[in-house]
Amino acid sequence: MESLDIKDFFDTTKAACRGKDITLFYPNLPPRHRKPSQTETARQICQECKVIDGCLEYSLYFEPLGVWGGKNEVEREILRRQKHIDLPADRKASHSVRRSVNSGRVDRMVRRLESAND
């Protein structure tokens, strides 16, 4: 996977976020301290996007930070755990993700989702 590029997952020229204010997708505050409007605006843009699925898939393999494919960092970490995907060693998870992992929150969410699917 490491030799893949973002364009292997989706056509970036079709991304709804193209040309938008990047701070909508990379707010400075951890998820629990963000104003709901910050993440919601990014999610709304994502929901209107033609390449949301490829964007999310790419982010699961390469993007630890920000809103990608309509999901924040913690939501994507939960998906990574479900799909057994590890970020490359040179990509660090955000503080909020590390805190959620260390507290057991991510594993609890994965178990809850897996039991709901059984």
Delimit the domains of the chain by residue range.
Answer: 6-117
Residue 56 CB burial class (10 angstroms; 0-12, 13-18, ≥19): buried
Q: What percent of the chain has pLDDT over 90?
A: 44
The yes-or-no verdict on residue 23 having pLDDT over 90 is no
Looking at residue 8, the DSSP 8-state letter turns out to be: G
Residues 55-60, mean pLDDT to the nearest whole number: 96
The yes-or-no verdict on residue 84 having pLDDT over 60 is yes
Residue in this structure with the two tokens 């999310």, named with its chain if needed: 56
Please give the pLDDT value at position 89: 81
Please give the pLDDT value at position 101: 77
Contact 16, 50 (CB under 8 A): yes
Q: pLDDT digit string (tens) for 39-55? A: 889 999 999 999 999 99
Residues 21-37, mean pLDDT to the nearest whole number: 73
Contact 78, 106 (CB under 8 A): yes
